[in-house]
């Protein structure tokens, strides 16, 4: 939001069903629920209506479509899998959810991105760098597909001397089973820059043009999970959105977060950017939320901001050695930058014997390229304990002080790398007491006259002990929820959805809302389901959904048996 960088804004609560089927054909042989494999193109910008293709099984055409914003409208055409899409001006930039359904069920939501830059379609043939598709704008999003085995998509972009060429792809983050690679070639076809993974399997590469000229950006991909052979793969479902620009591109901010309840400003970090600050407001972030998503003011690129509950402390150089360690009193949230290869940031802190410290790194989880190492040292630089990140994860380090004294927290990159984008936050204060809940499936089905038991999983975090209540939002006429009281010891809540014998067929978005009415201010959270896939490798553009789906199937009552003749 993963983002990357990820480019995510808060998903709106379900507002409307954008397209409802006028009627579902009644048939004894029922269709299967839709199983879309991709949406192409996977995004667009507000403006004129455009066409999209949805691949996969879409039985019972035309299928219905729901989106998470009323201004994002999909309309089915006469051809199976073909839709027109319109995006209103008030639809926030970033990823949105789109769900396809018929009278027998609904597919898991797919991600569709609303952008702010101009959009174009990839044009084949463009495998050879000498036949690269010309991008004649300084900033554009290319919607393409790696359709065939060995497919390489090439794009030519002109850059002035000193300008950064930035290429960032969303592919894995859209739900495609692919591990993409980006590279930049010069006019002779010589590779000058390469990137494989960032905060997930998607790639981002930035390279400063040494002289004015035309350069080639190439994209290819490997199967994920990896195949037995290491070769570029292809599939109609390998859909991507490739941002190409020699203009402003925002990757992150410094600091990469803010204190809950506080207002302030953050410095935008990226390429071809004027030095500017963007206001941020932590007063609207709920107690249970740890992330704030904002569109970057000049570009619409989505910012992932961490929300903490301790005071922010900014790193001050020089602090590489133990003697130069910056004094800090914990709990605090330390904001820093590994500004050059080999850089180590050190922070000196007092501790009492047996005092417990829990250091939580926030770097790759906020779109930083940093593979973090956390280490506690004594004042002579001797390591007492350490924890490494890796595998697209951030380290956590728990440690008890062996004696009264001063100790040093050392922060560095595992591989000795560094640069302006190697940003991090280290949190030591626990989150406030909160709770989370999950729903077992993104979609539920019930027949008229039947009961469906649903088990919601509940987790109380950081010592949360307050009373909870549960409500189901969006149930159609003829369906009720039997909700038990929620015990303070429950980690599972069983509810029953009951459909009346005469309940009509329906397809509706629903939410399971847990609330803590006695907390001040009152706290509410919907139960969520994961959208990370079966083999998660870092963040998707949307990691979790909270709007589930309910299909009510209306089956006619069996006819009365004929009476026997006497």
The reply to whether 22 falls in a domain is: no
Q: From CA 62, how far away is CA 433, in angstroms rounded?
A: 47
Q: In this predicted structure, what is the pLDDT of residue 226?
A: 83
Cα–Cα distance list, 42 to 61, 443, 523 (Å): 21, 22, 35
Q: Rounded mean pLDDT of 311-317?
A: 95
Output the average pLDDT for the chain.
91
Asked whether residue 205 falls in the same domain as residue 286, the answer is: no
The tokens describing 203, both together, are 């790639």
Q: Rounded mean pLDDT of 110-135?
A: 96
Q: From CA 558, how far away is CA 553, in angstroms rounded?
A: 15
What is the 3 state secondary structure string of 437-481? EECCCCEEEEECCCEEEEEEEEEEECCCCCCCEEEEECCCCCEEE
Last residue of a domain, one of 215, 247, 279: 247
Asked whether residue 304 falls in the same domain as residue 272, the answer is: yes
For 334-354, how does the pLDDT look when each residue is reduced to its tens digit (9 = 90+)?
Answer: 999 999 999 999 999 999 999
Is residue 115 within 8 Å of 141, Cβ to Cβ?
yes
Q: DSSP class of residue 365?
A: G
Last residue of a domain, one of 114, 132, 167: 114
Q: DSSP class of residue 366?
A: G
Q: Please, which pLDDT band fits residue 23 given cuts at 50, 70 and 90?
A: very low
The tokens describing 421, both together, are 């984008």
Tokens 């990226």, residue located: 270
Total residues found in the chain within this entry: 566
34-38-43-48 Cα dihedral, nearest 10 degrees:
-60
Asked whether residue 127 falls in the same domain as residue 179, the answer is: yes
CATH of the domain at 399: 2.60.120.380
The tokens describing 202, both together, are 């998607």
Asked whether residue 108 falls in the same domain as residue 225, the answer is: no
Q: Rounded mean pLDDT of 393-421?
A: 96
The reply to whether 373 falls in a domain is: yes
CATH of the domain at 106: 2.60.40.10
**Residue 538 backbone phi and psi in degrees, to 5:** 90, -175
Q: From CA 373, how far away is CA 361, in angstroms rounded?
A: 9
The reply to whether 378 falls in a domain is: yes
Burial 508-534 (b: 16+ CB within 10 A, else e): bbbbbbbbbeebeeebebbbbbebeee
Asked whether residue 163 falls in the same domain as residue 136, the answer is: yes
pLDDT beyond 70 at 19: no
- Count the Cβ atoms, other than its own, within 10 Å of residue 458: 18
Residue 326, classed as helix, strand or coil, is strand
The closest of 501, 517, 432, 512 to 468, measured between CA atoms, is 517
- Count the Cβ atoms, other than its own, within 10 Å of residue 79: 10
pLDDT beyond 80 at 7: no
Asked whether residue 223 falls in the same domain as residue 123, the answer is: yes
The reply to whether 390 falls in a domain is: yes
Q: How far is CA 86 from the centre of its chain?
A: 23
Q: From CA 199, how far away is CA 398, in angstroms rounded?
A: 24
Q: In this predicted structure, what is the pLDDT of residue 332?
A: 96
Q: In this predicted structure, what is the pLDDT of residue 2?
A: 36
pTM over 0.85: yes
For 141-156, how does the pLDDT look when each residue is reduced to its tens digit (9 = 90+)?
Answer: 999 999 999 999 999 9
The reply to whether 354 falls in a domain is: yes
Q: Which residue has the higher pLDDT, 523 or 193?
A: 193
Q: In this predicted structure, what is the pLDDT of residue 487?
A: 86
- Count the Cβ atoms, other than its own, within 10 Å of residue 6: 30
Is residue 400 within 8 Å of 355, Cβ to Cβ?
yes
Last residue of a domain, one of 114, 131, 162: 114
Beta strand spans in 315-404 (E): 326-327, 333-337, 344-351, 356-362, 372-377, 383-388, 396-400
Q: Rounded mean pLDDT of 489-508?
A: 94
Give me the DSSP letters along 114-145: E-SSEEEE--S---SGGGPEEE-SSEEEEEEE
Residue 492, classed as helix, strand or coil, is strand
pLDDT beyond 60 at 21: no
- Count the Cβ atoms, other than its own, within 10 Å of residue 147: 16
The tokens describing 478, both together, are 């003829």
Lowest mean pLDDT among 98-102, 430-434, 527-531: 430-434
Q: Rounded mean pLDDT of 272-293?
A: 86
The closest of 312, 421, 416 to 364, measured between CA atoms, is 421
Q: Rounded mean pLDDT of 81-91?
A: 97
Q: Rounded mean pLDDT of 258-264?
A: 91
Q: In this predicted structure, what is the pLDDT of residue 489?
A: 79
The closest of 494, 360, 367, 390 to 439, measured between CA atoms, is 494
The reply to whether 285 falls in a domain is: yes
Asked whether residue 209 falls in the same domain as residue 274, the answer is: no
Q: In this predicted structure, what is the pLDDT of residue 374?
A: 98
Q: Rounded mean pLDDT of 81-110?
A: 96
Tokens 């069903």, residue located: 17
Range(s) of the domain holding residue 42:
35-114
The closest of 308, 303, 254, 263 to 281, measured between CA atoms, is 263
Q: In this predicted structure, what is the pLDDT of residue 147?
A: 94
Q: In this predicted structure, what is the pLDDT of residue 564?
A: 65
Q: In this predicted structure, what is the pLDDT of residue 419?
A: 95
Q: Rounded mean pLDDT of 128-147?
A: 96
Q: Please, which pLDDT band fits residue 290 given cuts at 50, 70 and 90?
A: confident
Asked whether residue 215 falls in the same domain as residue 123, the answer is: yes
Q: In this predicted structure, what is the pLDDT of residue 12?
A: 37
The reply to whether 143 falls in a domain is: yes
Q: In this predicted structure, what is the pLDDT of residue 30?
A: 57
**Contacts with 376 (C-beta within 8 Å, 6 or more apart), sequence order:** 357, 359, 383, 384, 385, 386, 397, 399, 407, 408, 409, 410
The reply to whether 18 falls in a domain is: no
271-421-143-89 Cα dihedral, nearest 10 degrees:
-70
**Would the CA dihedral through 253, 259, 261, 262 be positive or negative?**
negative
Asked whether residue 186 falls in the same domain as residue 269, the answer is: no
Asked whether residue 467 falls in the same domain as residue 523, the answer is: yes
The tokens describing 99, both together, are 């769900």
pLDDT beyond 90 at 74: yes
Q: In this predicted structure, what is the pLDDT of residue 275?
A: 85
- Count the Cβ atoms, other than its own, within 10 Å of residue 455: 11
Is residue 448 within 8 Å of 501, Cβ to Cβ?
yes
Q: Please, which pLDDT band fits residue 561 given cuts at 50, 70 and 90?
A: low
Asked whether residue 345 falls in the same domain as residue 268, the answer is: no
Tokens 């690129």, residue located: 301
Q: Rounded mean pLDDT of 310-315?
A: 94
Number of compact structural domains in the chain: 5
Asked whether residue 390 falls in the same domain as residue 490, the answer is: no
Residue 197 burial class via C-beta count within 10 angstroms: exposed 0-12, middle 13-18, buried 19 and up: middle
Q: In this predicted structure, what is the pLDDT of residue 6?
A: 32
**Residue 364 backbone phi and psi in degrees, to 5:** -60, -30
């Amino acid at each position: 939001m993963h983002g990357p960088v990820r480019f995510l804004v808060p998903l709106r609560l379900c507002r409307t069903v954008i397209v409802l089927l006028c009627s579902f054909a009644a048939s004894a042989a029922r269709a299967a629920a839709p199983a879309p494999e991709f949406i192409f193109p996977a995004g667009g910008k507000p403006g004129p209506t455009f066409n999209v293709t949805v691949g996969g099984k879409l039985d019972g055409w035309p299928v219905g479509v729901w989106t998470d914003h009323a201004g994002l409208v999909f309309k089915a055409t006469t051809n199976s899998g073909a839709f027109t899409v319109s995006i209103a001006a008030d639809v926030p930039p970033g990823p949105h959810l789109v769900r396809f359904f018929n009278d027998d069920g609904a597919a898991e939501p797919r991600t569709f991105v609303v952008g702010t830059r101009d959009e174009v379609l990839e044009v084949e043939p463009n495998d050879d760098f000498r036949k690269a598709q010309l991008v004649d704008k300084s900033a554009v999003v290319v919607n393409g597909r790696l359709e065939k085995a060995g497919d390489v998509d090439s794009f030519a972009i002109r850059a002035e001397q000193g300008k950064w060429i930035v290429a960032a792809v969303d592919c894995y983050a859209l739900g495609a089973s692919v591990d993409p690679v980006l590279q930049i070639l010069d006019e002779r076809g010589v590779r000058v820059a390469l990137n494989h993974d960032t905060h997930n399997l998607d790639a981002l590469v930035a390279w400063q043009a040494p002289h004015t000229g035309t350069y080639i950006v190439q994209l290819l991909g490997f199967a994920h999970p990896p195949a037995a052979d290491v070769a570029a793969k292809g599939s109609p479902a390998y859909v991507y959105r490739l941002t190409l620009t020699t203009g402003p591109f925002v990757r992150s901010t410094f600091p990469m977060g803010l204190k809950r309840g506080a207002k302030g400003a953050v410095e935008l970090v990226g390429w071809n950017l004027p030095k500017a600050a963007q206001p941020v407001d932590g007063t609207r972030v709920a107690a249970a939320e740890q992330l704030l998503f904002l569109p970057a003011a000049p570009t619409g690129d989505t910012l992932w901001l961490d929300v903490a509950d301790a005071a922010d402390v900014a790193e001050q150089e020089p602090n590489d050695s133990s003697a130069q360690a910056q004094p800090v009193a914990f709990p605090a949230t330390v904001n820093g930058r590994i500004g050059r290869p080999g850089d180590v940031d050190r922070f000196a802190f007092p501790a009492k014997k047996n005092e417990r410290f829990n250091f939580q790194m926030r770097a790759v989880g906020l779109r930083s390229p940093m593979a973090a190492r956390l280490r506690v040292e004594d004042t002579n630089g001797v390591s007492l304990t350490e924890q490494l990140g890796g595998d697209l994860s951030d380290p956590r380090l728990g440690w008890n002080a062996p004696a009264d004294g001063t100790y040093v927290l050392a922060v560095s990159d595992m591989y000795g790398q560094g640069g302006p984008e190697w940003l991090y936050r280290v949190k030591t204060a626990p989150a406030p007491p909160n709770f989370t809940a999950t729903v077992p499936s993104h979609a539920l089905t019930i027949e008229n006259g039947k009961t469906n038991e649903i088990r919601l999983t509940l987790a109380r975090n950081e010592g949360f002990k307050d009373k909870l209540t549960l409500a189901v939002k969006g149930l159609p006429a003829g369906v009720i929820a039997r909700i038990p009281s929620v015990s303070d010891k429950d980690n599972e809540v069983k509810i029953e959805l009951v459909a009346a014998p005469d309940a009509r067929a329906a397809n509706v978005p629903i939410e399971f809302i847990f609330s803590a009415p006695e907390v001040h201010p009152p706290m509410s959270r919907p139960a969520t389901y994961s959208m990370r896939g079966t083999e998660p490798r870092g963040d998707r553009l949307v990691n979790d959904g909270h709007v589930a789906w309910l299909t009510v199937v209306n089956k006619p009552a069996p006819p009365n048996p004929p009476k026997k003749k006497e």
